[in-house]
Amino acid sequence: MKFKKILFSLFLFSVQFCAWAAKPPVISDGGILPGDANTGEQEGFWYVVKYLAPGLVNNLMLIILSVSVLMIMVGGGIYIFSSGDSEMTKKGKETLLWTIVGTVLAIMSYGIIKLLVGIDFTK
């Protein structure tokens, strides 16, 4: 339960950091979204697509990769210190296997999003 709270705190921190670093556009006409209300061209959507979403995805990817490195170390430790106990050895192998599978899926989803949507994640 404590681990979930830590992950949720890291997620909230990444959202706050993205909002702080993205430099939101100036609202000039008093509307909810920035842009010209008469023409209907709102800059809020483009702000989310260009700045907020890429920053959030990058921070989430950093958290996922950090947690996966930690879980690989935990799974390797369980496997190494199992002392021949078949149940602990199996638990260590499963931890390593599913951590690697999850990491590969996260990296593939990141690549597919970048390929299909074309969002620039370098910002």
Residue 95 domain-assigned (yes or no): yes
In a domain? residue 17: yes
Mean of the per-residue pLDDT values for the chain?
76
Given a cut of 60, whether residue 28 has pLDDT beyond it is no
For residue 7, being part of any structural domain is answered with yes
Instruction: Return the pLDDT at 79.
Output: 92
Give the pLDDT of residue 40: 53
Does residue 99 lie within any of the structural domains? yes
* Pair 46, 92: CB distance under 8 Å: no
Q: Is a pLDDT exceeding 60 seen at residue 31? A: no
* Assigned domain for 48 exists: yes
Residue 42 in domain: yes
Alpha-helical segments (H) within 1-123: 2-21, 44-47, 53-80, 86-117
Contacts of 27 (CB under 8 A, 6+ apart): 33, 34
Task: Name the residue range of residue 41's domain.
Answer: 2-117
pLDDT band at 123 (very low <50, low <70, confident <90, very high): low
Give the model's pLDDT for residue 52: 73
Q: Classify residue 122: in a domain, yes or no.
A: no
Please tell me the total count of domains within the chain.
1
123 within domain boundaries: no
